[in-house]
């Protein structure tokens, strides 16, 4: 009789071990299924990103003549420059930015690429970066920020304002910096002091189809 009662703890022990193994197995299977679902989502997201890149292929459709309504749009986050002719997209180019690419350019030496509305106001073929196309930085908004922060005085602000209103080159020798534009030299990474860098081949295309006065919108 005593031996019979001694068997009960052993039975309960075996049954308990069985339950633990069973529950652990179910949990592991659930974890594996969850992991597989997460991996599937990640693959889906990657495919979506690859698809977006496919829709933004780099290209250039050669134009018979230079349009009087040429314009340029720069998307800093995407590292892409788009060339338009009479509102028609004719080229998309990969770009590199300044060494500190995020945010507005505020002052000389901050290595930032500007954001805002500008126009081409200067050209120089005598440069080690193949060709330089200068833009109208600082614009009036840049000058306002500089005035508010005490980087420039009222007289300098007025000079910038008059130059921009007259579609001329604004002063490039102020605390806000200057000589910002587009040039060659390569686009593999953000290496410039604030300019928009392209391949030598691409800057040679832009110099033909983006005359002085061409508007340039630079977005985040």
Residue 198 contacts residue 187 (beta carbons within 8 Å): yes
pLDDT, tens digit, 9 for 90 and up, residues 137-172: 999 999 999 999 999 999 999 999 999 999 999 999
The residues pairing with 84 across neighbouring beta strands, listed in sequence order, are: 71, 89
Residue, of 37 and 208, whose pLDDT is higher: 208
**Which of 72, 164, 182, 195 is labelled catalytic?**
195
Integer Cα distance of 175 and 156 in angstroms: 10
Output phi, psi for 172, to 5 deg: -105, 5
Pairing of strands 80-85, 59-60: unpaired
Average pLDDT estimate for 62-85 = 93
Over 90: is that where the pLDDT of 9 sits?
no
Domain borders along the chain are 9-40, 61-218
**Residue 195: active-site member:** yes
Q: How many helices (H) and strands (E) does the chain have?
A: 4, 9
**Which of 76, 105, 112, 183 is labelled catalytic?**
183
The pLDDT of residue 56: 81
The pLDDT of residue 63: 87
Over 90: is that where the pLDDT of 205 sits?
yes
Class of CATH domain 61-218: mainly beta
Integer Cα distance of 218 and 76 in angstroms: 7
The residues pairing with 182 across neighbouring beta strands, listed in sequence order, are: 133, 196
Average pLDDT estimate for 169-190 = 98
pLDDT, tens digit, 9 for 90 and up, residues 93-140: 999 999 999 999 999 999 999 999 999 999 999 999 999 999 999 999
Average pLDDT estimate for 69-96 = 97
């Amino acid at each position: 009789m005593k031996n019979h009662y001694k068997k009960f703890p052993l039975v309960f022990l075996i049954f308990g071990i069985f339950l633990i193994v069973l529950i652990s197995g179910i949990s592991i299977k659930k974890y594996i299924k969850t992991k597989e679902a997460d991996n599937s989502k990640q693959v889906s997201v990657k495919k979506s990103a690859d698809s977006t890149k496919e829709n933004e292929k780099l290209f250039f459709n050669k134009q018979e003549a230079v349009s009087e309504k040429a314009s340029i749009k720069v998307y800093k986050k995407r590292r892409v420059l788009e060339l338009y002719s009479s509102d028609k997209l004719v080229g998309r180019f990969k770009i590199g930015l300044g060494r500190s690419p995020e945010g507005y350019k505020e002052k000389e030496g901050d290595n930032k690429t500007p954001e805002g509305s500008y126009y081409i106001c200067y050209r120089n073929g005598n440069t080690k970066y193949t060709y330089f196309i200068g833009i109208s930085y600082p614009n009036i908004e840049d000058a306002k920020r500089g005035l508010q922060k005490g980087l420039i005085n009222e007289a300098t602000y007025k000079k910038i304002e008059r130059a921009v209103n007259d579609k001329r080159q604004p002063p490039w020798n102020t605390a806000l910096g200057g000589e910002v534009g587009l040039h060659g030299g390569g686009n593999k990474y953000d290496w410039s002091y604030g300019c928009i860098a392209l391949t030598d081949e691409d800057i040679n295309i832009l110099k033909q189809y983006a005359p002085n006065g061409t508007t340039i919108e630079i977005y985040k």
